[in-house]
Amino acid sequence: MRIGITCYPTYGGSGIVATELGLELANRGHQIHFITYANPIRLGERPDIFYHEVEVSNYPLFQYPPYCLALASRMAEVAVQYELDLLHVHYAIPHSVSALLARGILAGSRRLPFVTTLHGTDITLVGMDRSYYPITRYSIEQSDAVTSISEDLRRHTVEVFDVAKPIETIHNFVNTGLYHPAKDRKPRPPRMIHMSNFRPVKRVTDCIRVLAEVRKSVDAELWMVGDGPDRGAAERLAHDLGLIGSVRFLGKRNDVPALLRDADVLLMPSEMESFGLAALEAMSSGVVPLGTRVGGVPELITDGVDGYLSNTGDTIAMAANAATLLTDTAGCAAMATAARQAAVERFSTDLIIPKYEAMYRRVVEAV
Ligand code: GMT
């Protein structure tokens, strides 16, 4: 099939999922066209994958450049030039609206169905903003098919938007070949890792509080990967608690698989996570995830089996689990093996990508 994919191409879970989906589909022989405002970060050098940049004119008249319209025009143009079979948009706002317009532009000459995948913040935050609510609901209803990355997000979308459109849950996936456990462990201190865009919802300062608590009994260190609005607050707290020597802020990185497999546990103290892709990447890397009981996280982490769950803000409980794992080498290794097994048996690309392919076939063949 010839598939156009649109996402937010910068650092963020939805962009990563969309990019890795494109890579996996291309590996399976599909022709993939990314239609975005920048080259997706994890795309790498792939001459077999097309990239069509969306340029937005910035006339002085436009206080707000109409990206959504430029994207719709580009989608329609690419669809005609490359005879696309469908569009797959990640994140309802504004991508789903642009796809709807592109489908309308071409309606007289060719069919251009589109699939919308909901990732979370498009529904839980942005979509509930009253100014976006009606258009989000409309674009979901008008999609040829809708998928959600967790059952929790699917239920939430139906409740909040009262949509009649069937929504299929297709969980996020991981390339278990790329995200694999370390072959051997070099001598190093027990290490925790956190990876996010450092937005308030990620509660990055909780990671520092967990480190402070853990260090009462274990000489552990913490690697903070990523960047965003709350990095300054986390650095200040680390300084105030006298932890600056045991925490490293590594910023935005492209070598995520190597960083992950060199850690023992992942901290994900989020207030909300519709899925928690970082935890899945950690599990696949043989790193035990410590998450919170929110959103779709319990669909991914089975508490006490392949990771631990605690309540949001309960840094004492999260630290207790971390300290136990970091001192009990055999127990930690057993849980890491269970985490890897869950990633392979429930979320590997071989299991999940065919679900998208089946959905594309249904959408393309529908009349
Ligand atoms: O969490 C973020 O800040 C980024 C956001 C996004 O849209 O990129 O992540 C959402 O999508 C990811 C990929 O499907 C999920 O793993 C995240 O859980 C989800 N974030 C939230 O629900 C807060």
The separation between CA 290 and the C-alpha centre of its own chain, rounded to angstroms, equals 17
Structure tokens at 13: 């879970």
For 145-184, give the DSSP string.
EEEESSHHHHHHHHHHH---S-EEE----B-TTTS---SS
Taking the centre of ligand 1 as the mean of its atom positions, its distance from the CA of residue 122, in whole angstroms, is 9
Q: Which atom of ligand 1 is nearest to the CA of 280?
A: 16
Decide if 2-173+349-365 and 191-347 have a common fold: yes
pTM of the predicted protein model: 0.95
What are the boundaries of each domain within the chain?
Answer: 2-173+349-365, 191-347
What pLDDT is stored for residue 11 in this prediction? 67
* Residue 187, phi then psi, degrees to nearest 5: -60, 125
Taking the centre of ligand 1 as the mean of its atom positions, its distance from the CA of residue 12, in whole angstroms, is 7
Taking the centre of ligand 1 as the mean of its atom positions, its distance from the CA of residue 316, in whole angstroms, is 25
Is the CB of residue 263 less than 8 Å from the CB of residue 231? no
pLDDT by residue for the chain (367 residues), tens digit each?
Answer: 999 999 998 768 899 999 999 999 999 999 999 999 988 877 777 889 999 999 988 787 888 889 999 999 999 999 999 999 999 999 888 999 999 999 999 999 999 999 999 998 777 776 677 888 899 999 999 999 999 999 999 999 999 888 999 999 999 999 999 999 999 888 899 999 999 999 999 999 999 999 999 999 999 999 999 999 999 999 999 999 999 999 999 999 989 999 999 999 999 999 999 999 999 999 999 999 999 999 999 999 999 999 999 999 999 999 999 999 999 999 999 999 999 999 999 999 999 999 999 999 999 999 7
Residues near ligand 1 with C-beta < 6 Å?
A: 12-14, 17, 119-121, 149, 172, 197, 199, 201, 272-277, 295
Question: Up-side HSE of residue 74: CA atoms within 13 Å toward CB?
Answer: 22
2-173+349-365 is a CATH 3.40.50.2000 domain: yes
Q: Which atom of ligand 1 is nearest to the CA of 150?
A: 14
CATH architecture of 191-347: 3-Layer(aba) Sandwich (3.40)
Taking the centre of ligand 1 as the mean of its atom positions, its distance from the CA of residue 118, in whole angstroms, is 10
Exposure class string for 66-96: b at 16+ Cβ within 10 A, else e: eebebbbebbbebbeeeebbbbbbbbbbbbb
d(C-alpha 172, C-alpha 14), whole Å: 10
Q: Which atom of ligand 1 is nearest to the CA of 295?
A: 22
Which stretches within the chain are classed as H helix?
13-27, 67-81, 97-106, 121, 133-142, 151-161, 204-214, 231-240, 256-261, 277-284, 297-300, 315-327, 329-347, 349-365
Residue 199: exposure state from Cβ atoms within 10 A (0-12, 13-18, ≥19): middle
Probe target for ligand 1 pocket from 20, 119, 136, with the most ligand atoms within 8 Å of CB: 119
